[in-house]
Amino acid sequence: MKPPSEIESAPTENPVAGIDQTKGDFKYDVSYAFDAGKGLNEDTVRYISSVKKEEPWLLDFRLKALKTFLDKPMPTHWATKDLENIDFDKIRYYLSQGQKPKRTWDEVPDDIKKTFERLGIPEQERKFLAGVEAQFDSEAAYSNIKDIVAKQGVIFCNSTEGLREHPEIFRKFFGKVIPTADNKFSALNSAVFSGGSFIYVPKGVKVAQPLQAYFRINAENFGQFERTLIIADEGAEVVYMEGCTAPKFSTSTLHSAVVELVALKGAKIQYITVQNWANNVFNLVTKRGVAHEDAEIKWIDCNIGSRLTMKYPGVVLKGERARGEVLSIALANDGQHQDTGAKMIHAANNTTSNIIAKSISVGQGRSTYRGVVHIPKHLKGCKNNTECDALLINTNSRTDTYPAISVRGDKNATQHEASVSKVSEDMIFYMQSRGLTEAQAMSLAVNGFINDLAREFPMEYSVELKRLIDLEMEGSVG
Partner 1 sequence: MATAVTTPATLTGSFTREAFAAHLERVKHLPAWWLDRKRAAYERFAAAPMPKRTNEGWRFSNLSTLTLDGFNAAPAACRFDQLAHRELGVTGAGHLVFANNRLVASQALDASTAGQGIIFDTLQNALLRHADLVQTHLLAQPSRLGSDKFAALHEAFLEDGAFIYVPKGVTAELPVGVFHYACGAGAAVFPHTLVIAGENARVTVADFFRSEKAAEAHFACGGNDLYAGHGSQVTYIAMQDWSRATLSFQFNATVARRDARVLSLNLHAGARQARHESFSQLSAPGAHSEMLALTVAHGTQEFDQRTLQIHQAPHTSSNLLYKNALLDQAKTIFSGLIVVDPDAQKTDAYQSNRNLMLSDEAEASSLPGLEIQANDVRCTHGATSARIDREQEFYLESRGIRAAQAQELLVFGFFEEVLGKIEHRELHDTLTDIIRTKFREN
Cβ closer to partner 1: 256 or 397?
A: 397
Q: Which stretch binds partner 1 (CB under 8 A): 48-56, 213-221, 334-342, 402-410?
A: 402-410
Return d(Cα 453, Cα 389) in angstroms, integer.
12
The distance of closest approach from Cβ of residue 341 to partner 1 in the complex, given in angstroms and rounded to an integer, is 12
What is the DSSP code (8-state) at residue 50? H
If one asks whether residue 477 binds partner 1 (CB under 8 A), the answer comes out as: no
83, HSE (Cβ side, Cα atoms, 13 Å): 18
- Segment interacting with partner 1 (CB under 8 A) among 20-28, 153-161, 237-245, 400-408: 400-408
To the nearest whole angstrom, how small is the minimum distance from the Cβ of residue 403 to partner 1? Answer: 6
Under the criterion CB under 8 A, does residue 407 sit at the interface with partner 1? yes
Q: Is 404 in the site for partner 1 (CB under 8 A)?
A: yes
Measured CA angle at 239 (ends 158, 306), to 5 deg: 70
Nearest to 122, CA basis, from 443, 460, 471: 460
Binder of partner 1 out of 226, 355, 403, 440 (CB under 8 A): 403
Identify which of 351, 357, 298 has the alpha carbon closest to the alpha carbon of residue 331: 357
* Among positions 5, 9, 104, 395, the unique one binding partner 1 when judged by CB under 8 A: 395
Window 58 to 117, contacts with partner 1 (CB under 8 A)? 77-78
Amino acid at 136: F
Number of residues this chain uses to bind partner 1 (CB under 8 A): 36
Q: How many residues would you count in the chain?
A: 478
Cβ atoms within 10 Å of 235's Cβ, excluding its own: 18
Output 85 or 421, the one with its CB closest to partner 1.
421
Binding of residue 473 to partner 1 (CB under 8 A): no
The residue (of 422 and 466) whose beta carbon lies closer to partner 1 is 422
Distance of CA 313 to CAs 168, 178, 217, 289, 350, Å?
26, 11, 22, 8, 21
The reply to whether 406 sits near partner 1 by the rule CB under 8 A is yes
The verdict on 408 binding partner 1 (CB under 8 A) reads: yes
Q: Give the one residue of 128, 402, 429, 430 binding partner 1; rule: CB under 8 A.
A: 402
Residues of this chain, 414-433, that bind partner 1 according to CB under 8 A: 414-422
> Are the beta carbons of 218 and 66 closer than 8 angstroms?
no
Query: 169: burial class by Cβ within 10 Å (0-12, 13-18, 19+)?
Result: middle
Choose between 106 and 426: whose C-beta lies nearer to partner 1: 426
143 C-beta neighbours (distance < 10 Å), count: 23
Q: Which is nearer to partner 1, 101 or 363 (CB)?
A: 363
Q: Which residues bind partner 1 (CB under 8 A)?
A: 77-78, 377-378, 390, 392-422
